C-alpha cells in the first residue's frame, strides 16, 4: 500500500475519474479561448481608440470636409472615420439630387446610425462569450468537484475503517476542478467588465460626434 501517494497537480489530474478529466479538459479549453479573446479584444480596442483620437484631431482642425472625405474614402480608416464617411456620402448624394434639407439631414443621420451600429457590433463581438465563460466556469468546476468527491466516498464503501489518508487524494483530485473553474472565470469576468466599459466610452464618443457632425451639416445646408 502506498502511504505517500503522488499529490502533484498533474498526477492528480491523470488519476482523476473520466468525468472529472472531461470537466478539466472543458475548462482548460474555455480558459485558452478566453485568454485568446482577451488579447484580441485588447489590441482591437486600443487600435480603435488610437484611430478615433487621430480622426477627431484631423476633423476638428477645421479643414475642408470634401478633402477629409476623400482621404477617408481612400484609406480603410477607423470606426469613427467610417461613420463620418457614411454620413457625408449620403449628405452629398442628396445635395446633388436637390433633396430638401430636412430629408437630406434625416438620411445622413440614418446612414451614420446604421454605420455606428455596425461598428459597435464589431467592437462587442465575443464579449458575450467572455461573460458566459465567467459565469458558467465556476459551476462546471463545481460539478466536477461534486462528482469527484462522490466517487471518493463511494470507493470507501467496502472499507471497514476509512482514514483521511484514504479519502484525501480523491477529494484533492476533485477540488482541482473547482480551482480550474475559478482560473477560467476570474480573468474572463475582469476582461468583460473592462472591455464593456471601453466599448461604452467609444460608443459615447461616436454618438457625440454624430450629433456634432449633424449640426455642422445642417448649418452648411
Of the candidates 199, 189, 186, which has an alpha carbon nearest to the alpha carbon of residue 42? 199
**pLDDT tier for residue 198 given thresholds of 50, 70 and 90:** very high
Query: What is the C-alpha to C-alpha distance for residues 69 and 126, in angstroms, rounded to an integer?
Result: 31
The pLDDT mean for the chain works out to 85
- Residue 194: CB atoms within 10 Å: 14
Residues 6+ apart with CB under 8 A from 202: 45, 48, 49, 52, 79, 120, 123
Cell numbers representing residue 49 in the block:
481608440
Of the candidates 37, 75, 31, which has an alpha carbon nearest to the alpha carbon of residue 54? 75
Query: Angle at Cα 124 formed by Cα 118 and Cα 126, nearest 5°?
Result: 125
Buried b (16+ CB within 10 A) or exposed e, 169-188: bbebbbbbbbebbebbbebb
Each residue's pLDDT tens digit, 73-114 = 777 778 999 999 999 899 888 888 877 888 888 999 999 999
Q: What was the pLDDT predicted at 165? A: 60
Are 13 and 173 in contact by the 8 Å Cβ rule? The answer is yes
pLDDT tops 90 at residue 50: yes
Amino acid at each position: 500500500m502506498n502511504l505517500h501517494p503522488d499529490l502533484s497537480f498533474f498526477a492528480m489530474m491523470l488519476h482523476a475519474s473520466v468525468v472529472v478529466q472531461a470537466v478539466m479538459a472543458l475548462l482548460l479549453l474555455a480558459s485558452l479561448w478566453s485568454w485568446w479573446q482577451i488579447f484580441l479584444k485588447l489590441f482591437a480596442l486600443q487600435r480603435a481608440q488610437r484611430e478615433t483620437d487621430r480622426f477627431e484631431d484631423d476633423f476638428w482642425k477645421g479643414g475642408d470636409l470634401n478633402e477629409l472625405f476623400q482621404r477617408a474614402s481612400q484609406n480603410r480608416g477607423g470606426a469613427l472615420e467610417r461613420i463620418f464617411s457614411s454620413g457625408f456620402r449620403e449628405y452629398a448624394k442628396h445635395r446633388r439630387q436637390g433633396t430638401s434639407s430636412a430629408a437630406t439631414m434625416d438620411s445622413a443621420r440614418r446612414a451614420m446610425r446604421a454605420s455606428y451600429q455596425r461598428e459597435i457590433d464589431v467592437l462587442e463581438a465575443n464579449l458575450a462569450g467572455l461573460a458566459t465563460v465567467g459565469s458558467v466556469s465556476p459551476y462546471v468546476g463545481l460539478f466536477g468537484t461534486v462528482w469527484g468527491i462522490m466517487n471518493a466516498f463511494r470507493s470507501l464503501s467496502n472499507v471497514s475503517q476509512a482514514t483521511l489518508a484514504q479519502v484525501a487524494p480523491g477529494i484533492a483530485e476533485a477540488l482541482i476542478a473547482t480551482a480550474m473553474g475559478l482560473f477560467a472565470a476570474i480573468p474572463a469576468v475582469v476582461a468583460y467588465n473592462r472591455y464593456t466599459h471601453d466599448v461604452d466610452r467609444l460608443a459615447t464618443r461616436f454618438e457625440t460626434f454624430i450629433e456634432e457632425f449633424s449640426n455642422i451639416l445642417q448649418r452648411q445646408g
